[in-house]
Amino acid sequence: MNSDFSKGKVWKNIIEQAIPLTIAEFVHLLYNIVDRIYIGHLDIPNNMALTGIGLTFPVVALIAAFTALYGRGGTPLFSMARGAKDETEAEKIMGNSFTLLVVTSFVLFFACYCFRRPILYLFGASDASYQYANEYLQIYILGTPFAMITTGMNGFINAQGFPKIGMMTTILGAVLNLILDPVFIFGFNMDVQGAAIATVISQVVSAIWVICFLKSKRAIVTLKRSCLKVEWKRAKSIMTLGASGFIVQGTNCLVQAVCNVTLQSYGGDLYVGIMTVLNSVREILGLPVMGITNGSQPVLGYNYGAKRNDRVKEGIRFTAIIGTIYTVLMWAVVALFPKFLCQIFTVDPEVLEKGPGALNIYFFGFFFMSFQFAGQTVFQALGKSKQAIFFSLLRKAVIVVPLTVLLPQTGMGVNGVFWAEPISNAIGGIFCFTAMWYSVYRKL
C-alpha cells in the first residue's frame, strides 16, 4: 500500500483508502445493526425492545461526538505533518489524541451510568420503553473507553497508508459480535442485555488490536509513551480541527433526542420505533459515500501539506462526482423497495404498515447529502476548521432541529419530523458545497 499520497493517480489513492474504509465502517456498523436486527425480531409486544434501543441513540451519538473531536481532529494534522516530513510532530499528535480519548471516555462512562434514568426520559422514553432502554444502556456504556479508542485511533492507522489493517480492526470486533449476539440473546436468554454484552466484548477485542498495531514495528509512526503527555497548544489544535466532527455527531445527539421526544408526543412509542428503523437504513446506505469522503481526507491533507494543489483539486472533483452518483442510485433503491428495507429490522405489522411511507419521505432527495459530505471533508482535510464548524451547525442545529419541532405543528404531525431531514439535506448540502467550491477549490 502506497503511504506517499503525492505519487500515483489521485483517484486510485482515494479508492485504495476508501474501499477498505467502507468495508471497515460497514463491519463496524454491524456492532449496532446486528443488535437491532436480532432485537427487532424478538417476541416482545409492540416492538418495544427496538424502541428502547432507539432511545439510546443520542447517548451513542454523544460518545461518537467526543471520539470525533480527538480522532478526526488529530488525523488531518497527523497527515499534514507526515506530508511535511515531520515525523516527530506526527508522533506527538497521535499520542496526545490517544490520551484525550482515554481520559474523556472514563468521564463519559461515569456520567452516563450515574444519570442514565433522567437521561433516557429526557430523550423520549416512556414508562414502557424505559425498561428495555435501561437494560441495554447500563451494559453498553461499560465499553465506552474501548469504543472510543477503537474508532478514534483507527484513523491513525489508515492515515499511515494501512487501510486494510484499519479494516481488520472492525472486522475482528464485528464478526465476534455477530457470533456472540445469538449466543447471549437466545442461548442464554438474555435478550436486550445479551446484545449489549456481546457488543462490549467485541469492542474490547478491537481496541486491543488497534493499540498492538500502533505500538508494533509495522507502523510507520508508532504510539510512544513519551508522546502521551498532553500539551495544551497541540491539544487545542486537535480540538479546534475536530470541532466540526464533534458538532456533526453532537448535533446528531441533539437531533435524535428532539426527534424521539417529538415523535413520542405526536405518535407514541410506535413512531420512535419507526425512527429507529429509518436511522438504521440511513446508516447502511450512507456508508459508501462516507467511505469515499473519509478515504479522500488523508489524500487531500497529505497533498495539501506537500503543496500539490493540482492533486487536491483532482481529489475534490472525484469525491464529489462519485458521491453524487451513488446517492442518486440509493434514493432509487429506497423508492422501489421501502417495505423490504423495513423488514430487515422488524416483523411488527404496525411498523411494516406505516414505516415504508416514512422511509420514502426521509430519503427524499438523498443525493443532497453527498454535497454536505464532500464540502465538509474538504474543509476538514485542509485544516479550515471555522468553515467546517459553521456548516456542521447550519444543517443540524439551525435547520433540522427547528424544523423537527415546527413542522409537526403545521398539521403534518409525525410526517413533519420525517420531512425535516430531506429539507435540511438540500439547504445545508447546497450551501456547504457552494461555499467550498468558491472559497477553496477555485483558489487552490
Range in 246-255, 309-318, 367-376, 406-415 with the lowest mean pLDDT: 246-255
Beta-carbon contacts of 113 under 8 Å, excluding residues fewer than 6 positions away, are 138, 141
CA-to-CA separations, 167 to 99, 283, 385, in angstroms, rounded: 23, 18, 27
Report the greatest alpha carbon distance in the chain: 62
Helices marked H in 84-162 — which ranges? 87-114, 116-122, 127-140, 144-158
1 pLDDT exceeds 60?
no
Q: What is the pLDDT of residue 6?
A: 82
* Percent residues over pLDDT 70 in the chain: 98
385 pLDDT exceeds 80?
no
pLDDT digits (tens, 9 = 90+) for 319-360: 999 999 999 999 999 999 999 999 999 888 899 999 999 999
pLDDT digits (tens, 9 = 90+) for 200-257: 999 999 999 999 999 999 999 999 999 999 999 999 999 998 887 788 788 888 999 9
